[in-house]
Chain A
Amino acid sequence: MTTEQEKPEIADESGDKYKYGFVTDIASDTAPKGLSEDIIRLISQKKGEPDWLLERRLEAFRFWQKLKEPTWAKLSYDKIDYQDLYYYSAPKQKVAPKSLDEVDPELLKTYEKLGIPLKEQEVLSGVVAVDAVFDSVSVATTYRAKLAEKGVIFCPISEAVKEYPELVKKYLGSVVPYTDNFFAALNSAVFTDGSFVYIPKGVRCPMELSTYFRINAQNTGQFERTLIVADEGSYVSYLEGCTAPQRDENQLHAAIVEIVVLKDAEVKYSTVQNWYPGDKDGKGGVYNFVTKRAACRGANSKVSWTQVETGSAITWKYPSCILQGDNSVGEFYSVAITNNRQQADTGTKMIHLGRNTSSKIISKGISAGRSNQTYRGLVKVSPNAANARNYSQCDSLLIGPDCGSHTIPYVENRNKTAKLEHEATTSKISEEQLFYCQQRGIGEEEAVSLIVNGFCKEVMQHLPLEFAIEAAKLINISLEGSVG
């Protein structure tokens, strides 16, 4: 039932600013186009999944069929034809690789080109472990043995389903149920791979964990699923990066990230999202519809989301925190940059349920070109959440006269002991600031990048160091050509 396709097309890299726009020429194993129960059965069978998971997928699919795509976001795009997409594409490999030596060298080359070394001895002397997801499957996860010594599980979720069924069954869908929203239901029906992380009680994960997602195949949706469980008193810092080839048509990406944080545990989740944004006229680019949520279930638990969003033609994303445990803490630090015709509707939700819970939102939006950006946030304090605290700061920076920026902060407070603060600013890069830089010999583009990096600093300093450097570079690339 599967078809094999060779993909000979070559993306023109020369003279283009999106350096990740190349296509890997690799044979892949692709399911036929379209979405149906048969396709879902096929995906499940390809992955050798247990019946319970197939059942969940089918339930999600049946639910999804009843839903309508949401239209409340300030985004405009052509209707997505869900039957015109491939839902499964895997690099063709005779047998699953047991070690990195068995991984297709073309794939290793792809990640090398992306700046992600998968050979363990090359991975920054062991400070980062990487899971590399290529289209629908995880192709390599490094440092698993070293992590296992501490009891840390870091593996493709497709494998976790088989090897740690209790954990997966218990937590998968417990933070984002398939009934949550249209894209979550879709993902729950067709998700293909992603990472699974479990940090046992009292363990501080000895290295940063990181997943790199790569969409390669044409007309293929990427639906990855990440599940992180931090058991009592544990700590982990997790990084996520994404790139895609440069293609004229739009690619769909609908992921779910679920994080469960138990008593006294802490999770730091950092994203640098650099999916292909489309060309300057808005042709091509990834549609990024993502549901990310963390549940701080135990007392004194903490989660912090840091995101740098520079890519995608369309971004629809609201990493959220459910602050259930008493004294739990949720943080959201975001930089979103849109240029040319990009559109982003992004923000966060902080749901205060437990007592003495606190949350902090720092959102920095930069719009350039003809792009449009909306911060959409919700701070909700339930009647039982005594002494809840929130501080929100949403700053927008506009570059040029043709872009737009909107701030929509919802607040629902049901407890009078809550203390909620909100600050918002919208500014333009001032002529005075630019002139000051230029008068000191700094060119206009460099000046804009200095000013923008300064504007984002509060967020960038929450990124792990090597990610921060990469992110700063990305910001500069994203804004190229936005002045003058």
Chain B
Amino acid sequence: MKTPLLEIEDLCARVADKEIIKGFNLTINEGEVHAIMGPNGAGKSTLSHVLCGKPGYEITAGTVRYKGKNLLAMAPEERAREGIFLIMQYPVEIPGVPVTTFLKHAVNAIRQHRNEPELDTMEFIKLLREEGKKLGINPDMLKRPINVGFSGGEKKRLEALQLAVLKPQFSILDEADSGLDVDAMKVVAEAINAERTEHNAMLVITHYQRLLKDIVPDYVHIYADGHIVASGNKDLAREVEEQGYAQFLKEK
């Protein structure tokens, strides 16, 4: 018996006056990895932003349930505390806030939400160092202000570290239009694969099939013009790689 984790029904959303998501439907069950592929400019990132509650989008129709609850009614931080994690394409810089400080606030906010005791500084630093080591993160990086002056690879490693430390149940990897740093991507992919369990689920948003060689999805969906135009298994991704998106765009 499959347990649905995320249920999106007839979702429509817009930015300013522009309709971006138009009647989007998708159900993701616990333990599943879904990939969404689509041409550039199709609004793939909008989907990840809407799911995480980023301001600036207006939901005009549809529902999203997460663990049976109305996701769209939750503040962005509540969604995060409930286990939704977005691996961002362009993580933002926060000057003067060291990685350690930032993550300690995040971890304890989430632990508090789960009624777990807060970690003290010593326990926390130990955890951070251990997880960092697995990802090849130098302890010095943990003292630096978050993302400030980080290379593309370092930024991705930091996102992977947060994934490992915050232990979300539903992760969204947004690589909608990036020119991927292949090595950094491998690190992220490994981190994501390490989190694959029968309860956790993932949504991988990408333009290229290449990423899906490292994170092998259970389902692949082709996204165009604001909704899903085709669904299949991992073979669908290969088909796209070989033949391009044109055939799917014509079908509609």
A residues near B (Cβ < 8 Å) are 430-433, 435-444, 446, 450-451, 453-458
CB-CB < 8 A to B106: which residues of A? 437, 440-442
Whole-angstrom distance between the Cβ of B59 and the nearest chain A Cβ: 16
Which of the residues B54, B55, B88, B166 comes within 8 Å of A441, measured between beta carbons? B166
Q: A431-B55, A440-B162 are in contact. Are A451 and B80 (CB under 8 A)?
A: no
Decide if A436 touches B88 in the complex (CB within 8 Å): yes
Which of the residues B80, B97, B105, B145 comes within 8 Å of A439, measured between beta carbons? B80
In the complex the two chains form, what is the Cα distance from A450 to B94 in whole Å? 9
Which chain B residues in 57-112 approach chain A with CB under 8 Å? 75-77, 80-81, 85-86, 88, 91-92, 94-97, 101-103, 105-106, 109-110
Decide if B55 touches A453 in the complex (CB within 8 Å): no
Whole-angstrom distance between the Cβ of A139 and the nearest chain B Cβ: 38
B203 interfacial by beta-carbon distance below 8 Å = no
B199 interfacial by beta-carbon distance below 8 Å = no
B56 interfacial by beta-carbon distance below 8 Å = yes
What 10 new A-B contacts, CB under 8 Å, besides A435-B76, A440-B162, A442-B109? A430-B92, A436-B91, A437-B102, A437-B105, A438-B53, A438-B77, A439-B85, A441-B77, A450-B94, A454-B145
Decide if A433 touches B94 in the complex (CB within 8 Å): yes
Whole-angstrom distance between the Cβ of B172 and the nearest chain A Cβ: 10
Q: CB-nearest residue of chain A relative to B90? A: A432
- Among A441, A444, A451, the one with the most B-chain Cβ atoms within 10 Å of its Cβ is A441
Decide if B96 touches A455 in the complex (CB within 8 Å): yes
CB-CB < 8 A to B6: which residues of A? none
Which of the residues A431, A437, A439, A442 comes within 8 Å of B86, measured between beta carbons? A439
Mind listing 5 A-B residue pairs with CB under 8 Å? A433-B92, A440-B105, A440-B166, A442-B105, A455-B95
B213 interfacial by beta-carbon distance below 8 Å = no
Decide if A453 touches B96 in the complex (CB within 8 Å): yes
CB-CB < 8 A to B133: which residues of A? none
Which of the residues B56, B97, B103, B109 comes within 8 Å of A443, measured between beta carbons? B109
- Among B56, B88, B96, B110, the one with the most A-chain Cβ atoms within 10 Å of its Cβ is B96
Interface size class of B (residues with CB under 8 A): 20 to 34
Decide if A438 touches B80 in the complex (CB within 8 Å): yes
Q: CB-nearest residue of chain A relative to B110? A: A441
B residues near A (Cβ < 8 Å) are 52-56, 75-77, 80-81, 85-86, 88, 91-92, 94-97, 101-103, 105-106, 109-110, 113, 145, 162, 166
In the complex the two chains form, what is the Cα distance from A439 to B84 in whole Å? 8
Whole-angstrom distance between the Cβ of B126 and the nearest chain A Cβ: 20
In the complex the two chains form, what is the Cα distance from A435 to B162 in whole Å? 15
Which of the residues B75, B88, B97 comes within 8 Å of A438, measured between beta carbons? B75
Decide if B80 touches A432 in the complex (CB within 8 Å): no
Whole-angstrom distance between the Cβ of A424 and the nearest chain B Cβ: 15
Q: A440-B102, A442-B105, A442-B109 are in contact. Are A435 and B94 (CB under 8 A)?
A: no
Whole-angstrom distance between the Cβ of B95 and the nearest chain A Cβ: 6
CB-CB < 8 A to B86: which residues of A? 439
In the complex the two chains form, what is the Cα distance from A437 to B53 in whole Å? 12
CB-CB < 8 A to B77: which residues of A? 437-439, 441-444
Whole-angstrom distance between the Cβ of A187 and the nearest chain B Cβ: 36
The 4 closest A-B pairs by CB, nearest first: A454-B96, A454-B97, A457-B96, A440-B106
In the complex the two chains form, what is the Cα distance from A436 to B94 in whole Å? 9
Decide if B113 touches A441 in the complex (CB within 8 Å): yes
Decide if A435 touches B54 in the complex (CB within 8 Å): yes
CB-CB < 8 A to A438: which residues of B? 53, 75-77, 80
In the complex the two chains form, what is the Cα distance from A443 to B145 in whole Å? 19
Which of the residues B92, B109, B162 comes within 8 Å of A432, measured between beta carbons? B92
In the complex the two chains form, what is the Cα distance from A123 to B14 in whole Å? 60
In the complex the two chains form, what is the Cα distance from A442 to B113 in whole Å? 11
CB-CB < 8 A to A451: which residues of B? 94, 97
Whole-angstrom distance between the Cβ of A330 and the nearest chain B Cβ: 24
Q: CB-nearest residue of chain A relative to B55? A: A431
Whole-angstrom distance between the Cβ of B122 and the nearest chain A Cβ: 18
Which of the residues A432, A441, A444, A450 comes within 8 Å of B97, measured between beta carbons? A450
CB-CB < 8 A to A430: which residues of B? 92
In the complex the two chains form, what is the Cα distance from A446 to B80 in whole Å? 15
- Among A430, A436, A439, A444, the one with the most B-chain Cβ atoms within 10 Å of its Cβ is A439
In the complex the two chains form, what is the Cα distance from A451 to B102 in whole Å? 10
In the complex the two chains form, what is the Cα distance from A61 to B86 in whole Å? 66
Q: A441-B106, A446-B105 are in contact. Are A454 and B80 (CB under 8 A)?
A: no
In the complex the two chains form, what is the Cα distance from A194 to B113 in whole Å? 49
Q: A436-B88, A439-B80, A440-B102 are in contact. Are A454 and B95 (CB under 8 A)?
A: yes
In the complex the two chains form, what is the Cα distance from A327 to B113 in whole Å? 56
CB-CB < 8 A to A446: which residues of B? 105, 109
Q: CB-nearest residue of chain A relative to B53? A: A438
Q: CB-nearest residue of chain A relative to B103? A: A440
Decide if B96 touches A458 in the complex (CB within 8 Å): yes
CB-CB < 8 A to A440: which residues of B? 80, 102-103, 105-106, 109, 162, 166
Whole-angstrom distance between the Cβ of B111 and the nearest chain A Cβ: 9
In the complex the two chains form, what is the Cα distance from A419 to B145 in whole Å? 30
CB-CB < 8 A to B94: which residues of A? 433, 436-437, 450-451, 454
In the complex the two chains form, what is the Cα distance from A319 to B247 in whole Å? 71
